[in-house]
C-alpha cells in the first residue's frame, strides 16, 4: 500500500512545489457575523447608463396651449357643458390621433371605465353636484398622458321673483325719490343672472351680480326712481334671466315678478294752453288734472263765473282758474272768440292729444 501511494505523493509534491509560498499572517481576522454580511445587490452595479434618448413624455393639457407644450389631440363634445340641476346629460371625449392606448374620464359622478377605443362617453342620469372639475385624459403608448378639462355650468332657475318698494307703501308723491327692489330667490349661478326693471314695457335698467357663488343663493337688486304725474297708474315689474351662453338652452330661463300698480299724487295742472281760441257758438272747455282730482273755480273780473257753452264775442277775455287739490294753484287763461270760419286751438283738441299721450306712455 505504501509503494502504490508513492507516485501520487510525488505528483502532488511537483504540483505544489512549483508555487511560491506566501507568508501567512498570524493575525487572521475572524469571520464576519451573519448580521455584518451584506445581501447581494438585486441589480448589477456595473451596467452602462441609460441612453439619453429614453425620455418620458410630459403631461400636457388642453389642445393648442401656449408655451411650446406638445399638442394634445383630444376633442370634447360639447366643448362646454351647461346642464340644469337634477337633469340628465352626456359628454363625449375622443382622440383624433393614433399612439394613445387608453382613454378615460376623471369625474365625480358615474365615472365610465377606461377604454382602448378612440372615444368615451360620460353619461349621467341626474346631475347632483354644483361645483367640480371634469377631465378627459389619454395615455400615450410612449409614456405619459395628455388631458383636457370640460367646463361645466350647473344652473337652476329662481324659485320666485318679486318686486316691492324699499321702506315704502301706499301712494307716491310726484318728484320724490323711491327705491324699487327685485328679490330673486334660490338661483344658480348668480353671476350669470341679469335682472331688468320695467315701467310698463319700458326698461329702466339692467343689473348683474359679481358674486361667484355656484350654489343657489337669494339676491336682491335695487333701482331708484323719481315718479312724475305721467307715472300715475303705470305698472312696475322686474325680470330675472339666466344668460348661459351658446351652449345653454335655446330659450334662456326667464322668471318675472308680479305687477306693482303705481299711484302717484300730484298737484293741479292745466291740460289746455293758457291762450285758447274758440269759434262762436262753441263751448269753452278747460281740463284741470290732479291726483286727488282738484276742485276748480273760474273767475272773470273778480267774479266767479261758469264757462260759456255757446261762445260769443262778449266771452272773450282773461279768466282766472282757482284750483285746490294736493295744494292750491291759480292759472290765468286768455280766451279769444273767432268767427265761425278759421282755425282754432280749441282745448278739445289739446285734451284729446293729452289723453292719447298719457295712454301711450302707460302702454310703454
Q: Which residues pair with 194 in a beta bridge?
A: 208, 241
Quote the pLDDT of residue 70.
55
Is 48 strand, coil or helix? coil
pLDDT value at position 363?
55
State the 10-residue block means of pLDDT for the chain, 364 residues long. 37 38 39 39 38 35 41 91 96 90 92 92 95 92 87 97 96 96 98 97 95 96 96 97 93 96 94 87 88 93 90 91 90 89 54 51 54
- Long-range contacts at 59-66 (CB < 8 A, ≥ 24 apart): 59/144, 59/145, 59/146, 59/147, 60/144, 60/145, 60/146, 60/147, 61/146, 61/147, 61/148, 61/149, 62/147, 62/148, 62/149, 63/148
pLDDT value at position 13? Answer: 35
Q: Taking the model in full, what pTM does it have?
A: 0.69
pLDDT of residue 186: 97
| H-state helical runs in the chain | 2-17, 347-363
What is the reported pLDDT for 10? 33
Number of CB atoms found within 10 A of residue 13's CB: 10
Q: Which residues contact 317 (CB under 8 A, 6 or more apart)?
A: 300, 334, 335
Q: Which domains does the chain have, with CATH numbers?
A: 74-154 (2.60.40.10), 160-262 (2.60.40.10), 267-362 (2.60.40.10)
Name the DSSP letter for residue 206.
Answer: E
Burial class (CB in 10 A: 0-12, 13-18, 19+), 303: exposed
Query: What distance in Å separates the CA atoms of residue 193 and residue 200, rounded to the nearest whole number?
Result: 22
Q: What is the pLDDT of residue 342?
A: 53
- What integer pLDDT is reported at residue 285 of this predicted model? 85
Amino acid at each position: 500500500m505504501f509503494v502504490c501511494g508513492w507516485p501520487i505523493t510525488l505528483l502532488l509534491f511537483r504540483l505544489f512545489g512549483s508555487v511560491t509560498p506566501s507568508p501567512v499572517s498570524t493575525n487572521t481576522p475572524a469571520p464576519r457575523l451573519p448580521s455584518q454580511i451584506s445581501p447581494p445587490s438585486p441589480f448589477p452595479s456595473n451596467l452602462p447608463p441609460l441612453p439619453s434618448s429614453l425620455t418620458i413624455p410630459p403631461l400636457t393639457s388642453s389642445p393648442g396651449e401656449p408655451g411650446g407644450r406638445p399638442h394634445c389631440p383630444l376633442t370634447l363634445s360639447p366643448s362646454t357643458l351647461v346642464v340644469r340641476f337634477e337633469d340628465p346629460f352626456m359628454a363625449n371625449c375622443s382622440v383624433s390621433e393614433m399612439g394613445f392606448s387608453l382613454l378615460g374620464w376623471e369625474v365625480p359622478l358615474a365615472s365610465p371605465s377606461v377604454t382602448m377605443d378612440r372615444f368615451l362617453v360620460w353619461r349621467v342620469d341626474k346631475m347632483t353636484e354644483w361645483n367640480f372639475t371634469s377631465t378627459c385624459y389619454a395615455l400615450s403608448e410612449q409614456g405619459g398622458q395628455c388631458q383636457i378639462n370640460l367646463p361645466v355650468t350647473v344652473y337652476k332657475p329662481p324659485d320666485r321673483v318679486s318686486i316691492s318698494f324699499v321702506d315704502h307703501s301706499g301712494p307716491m308723491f310726484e318728484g320724490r325719490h323711491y327705491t324699487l327692489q327685485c328679490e330673486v330667490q334660490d338661483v344658480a349661478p348668480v353671476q350669470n343672472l341679469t335682472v331688468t326693471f320695467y315701467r310698463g314695457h319700458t326698461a329702466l335698467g339692467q343689473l348683474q351680480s359679481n358674486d361667484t357663488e355656484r350654489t343657489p343663493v337669494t339676491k336682491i337688486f335695487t333701482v331708484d326712481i323719481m315718479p312724475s304725474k305721467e307715472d300715475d297708474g303705470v305698472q312696475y315689474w322686474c325680470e330675472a334671466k339666466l344668460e348661459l351662453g351658446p351652449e345653454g338652452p335655446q330659450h334662456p330661463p326667464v322668471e318675472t315678478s308680479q305687477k306693482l300698480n303705481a299711484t302717484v299724487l300730484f298737484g293741479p295742472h292745466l291740460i289746455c294752453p293758457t291762450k285758447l281760441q274758440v269759434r262762436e257758438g262753441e263751448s269753452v272747455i278747460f281740463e284741470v288734472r290732479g291726483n286727488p282730482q282738484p276742485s276748480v273755480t273760474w273767475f272773470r273780473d273778480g267774479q266767479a263765473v261758469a264757462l260759456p257753452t255757446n261762445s260769443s264775442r262778449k266771452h272773450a277775455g282773461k279768466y282766472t282758474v282757482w284750483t285746490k287739490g294736493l295744494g292750491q294753484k291759480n292759472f290765468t287763461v286768455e280766451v279769444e272768440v273767432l268767427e265761425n270760419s278759421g282755425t282754432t286751438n280749441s282745448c278739445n283738441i289739446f285734451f284729446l292729444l293729452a289723453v292719447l299721450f298719457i295712454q301711450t306712455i302707460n302702454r310703454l
